[in-house]
Structure formats: C-alpha cells, structure tokens
Structure 1
Amino acid sequence: MGFSQEIITEIDNIWQANLNHPFVQEIGAGTLPIKKFKYYMIQDYVYLIDYAKMFALGALKSTDLTTMTQFSKILQSTLTEEMALHRQYAAQFNIDEGTLASAEPSPTTLAYTNYLLSVAQIGGQAELLAALLPCMWGYETIGKSLAHSPGAKHALYGEWIAMYSSSEFSALTEWLIQKFDTLTTQQTSVQRTHLTNIFKNSLRYEVLFWEMAYQEEKWLV
C-alpha cells in the first residue's frame, strides 16, 4: 500500500464526506438546481486559475526533465481542456470569458487557493503534491462513480461527468499519485505526519468548496 492510500484510509471520514456531499450526489441524480451549478462553475474557474499555478510550481521544483515535462502536460491540460469546459458552460449562461476570469472569489475559494499556493511555495515537491492531490484524486473518483448515473445523460451535467471520468484525466491523476508515493517511500514518521496534515487540510477545503457552491456563499460585508 502506497502512502497516498494510507492517508485516505486514515482520513476516510473526510474522504467519504467529499464523495457524498449533496452537491455531488445531486449532479449524479441530475437534480442539482442549475443556479447552484452556475455559481460553482464560476468559482471553480477562478479556483483553477490558481490551481494551474500548482503544476507550474511542480515543474519548477522538478529535478529531472521527465517530471518537469509531466507537470507541464498537466498544466496544459488544465488550461486548455478543463478550463475550456468551464468556458463552454459560461457561454451557455451568457457569461463572457473576461467576466468569468475576473469574477470575485468567494471566501472559501480565496482561502483554499491561498492555502494551496502557500504550501506549494514554502514546501518541496512532496508538500506540493500532498496539497493538490485531494482535488484531482477526488474529482477522478467522483467522475468514475457517476459515469453511469442519471446525471451522465443530463444535458448540462453529462459533459462535466464525462470530463472527470475520462481515461485521460484518470491517467494524469494516477501519475500524480504514483509520483507522491515514490517521493515518500523514505520519509520519516514526522515528515509523513506533516504531509498527512497538508492532505487533510486540502481535502477539508474540497468539502467546504462543495458546501460553498451548494449554499451559494457570499461575503457578509
């Protein structure tokens, strides 16, 4: 068992909360109110702008060309495929790309992206991977679990499920998991605890992100 799976096993309650949030389950059922998905799509686009920087930092912190190239591929995929889907949705909602990119982040979006970038810039590649994995791994798991759900045939949600259940997205995710497991084979117990806490915090933010979208979170003032 790799260290990544050990972490998932240890914090299974948070992992399950992420997979089973009402926002996710209602996408699978095809019953999520469209206004909630619109809110999510805008905030997720703002999130992805900073999340993409994580892969750029991964390339920067790489010590070999193979790893640098792979991080660059994931960066490119995020910018040109994943974010392109969001732009397609925005067009359906009559939101132009400039408005989408300049949308104000919600409190949760801002806190989450600031946490990710702080961990990535201060730590090494293991810390960076621990921070970014909950998002990609969670979405891949959700995508696969919903691949044959009623939502997969939904006019709006079907494309979202198809993106995250695709073999291409799965391959990128699996590489990140394997890279993390390889980097952490010789870690001390203290280092592993540190990485587990980073992973746990990012996963908690994933749950908060679903909740933020479900409640259409607003700034109080």
Structure 2
Amino acid sequence: MISPETGMALHLLAPQAGSESLGLSLVRRFGDDTAALDLGLKLARDGGEVFGLGSGANGSGTTAAALTVGLRGSLGGDGFVQMGAEFGLANADGSGALNDVGQMSFNSFGAEVGQHNVFSSGDRLTVGISAPIAVTAGTARTEIALRRPGDGKARMAAIAVPLAPEAREIDFRISYDLPISDSTALRLDLIHANDFGNRQDETDSAAALTLRITF
C-alpha cells in the first residue's frame, strides 16, 4: 500500500518453505486518489514457479528486473478507469532439458473501468481485461538424438527452441465488492480466459467468492 505521506511503497517477497522465489519492489506515486501515475521497479529471483525454466520440479530459477507503470483517473462521479503494465528482462540458469537460454523479455498488462456505489453505498463494480505475465522474446537450445541417413547411427543435434508462445492468454474479468461491515467485505469474481495458458484456442472460465475479514 502506498503511503499518503511519502507517496511511496516498498514490498518484500520472502521465500516460503519449498520455494526459492524472492523479490523487492519499489513504487512512487505522482498524484492523488482521483488521478495518479505510479512508476515502479521490481527485482526478483524466480524459483521456477513463474517461468518454469531449468531443472527440478519447478525449474532452477530465473533472475529478473522490470519496470512497472500504472495510471488511474476519474470518470466523473463515482466512476474510474485504471491501467497498468510491466516490462522486464530475465536471465535463466539454463540447466535441465533447456540450455543456453540467455536473456528473455517479458511483459504483462491490464485495464479496467469501474463504478462505486452501484447497488448500495460503498460497493464497487469493475470490468477489466488483462494479459498475465508471459515471455515475449527469447530462445533456448536443447539437444535431441537423430539417426543419420545411411548408417542409421544416432547423433546428438542442437535444436533452437523459441520461448515466446505463439498465442497470448487474454483474461476478461467482472468483479463486485460489497462491504458488509467495517471489518468484513464480500467479493465475487467471474473470469473467462481466451488462449488459456498461452495455448491457442484453449479457453477456461472460473468464479470465486471471497470473504475478507480484517482485525
């Protein structure tokens, strides 16, 4: 959460049991709650959960740095619009089936429009579109056994593997937040994904109901 006194926010991601992921993010806000520009920097070590590159169950890890930008503006009355994007570079260890991974670029983006006080005082309805984080450029190398014509003997051949998916997942979301009391709120999310998992023509839909209680 951004401090109203300094206009800045600092977040630390500490590794959990069984995970090597850790990170640091710093965000500076210019503006106020009505109209604002957020600029940020992220530094992270992915244990394999995000990019899934390298050896082991989750991958051996990726080091990444990214710039983030966010915009928020009022649509008049209780309406608002907000957009965000992230652009970064990463280097993977390149162990396991893929090697010589080298540098990759990645990004994510999203936008939503919303309205406060739609059905009752304090509620919020939003409609948004987003693309989850994905590699946009980068190649790796793997070796496979090929049989030579003539003698039929096998030899190892290096094959270049593009890391950027041919399709990009796009998520459509409708969310509704309803405060029940000063410390309790209910949230409903409806999500539909096209090219789910960055796989061409794959779709998926989900719904989630969340009860949030603060102490």
Q: Which has the higher contact order (CA 8 A, sep 6+)?
A: 1
Higher helix share: 1
TM-score (norm 1): 0.21
TM-score (norm 2): 0.21
Structure 1 or 2, whichever has the larger Rg, is 2
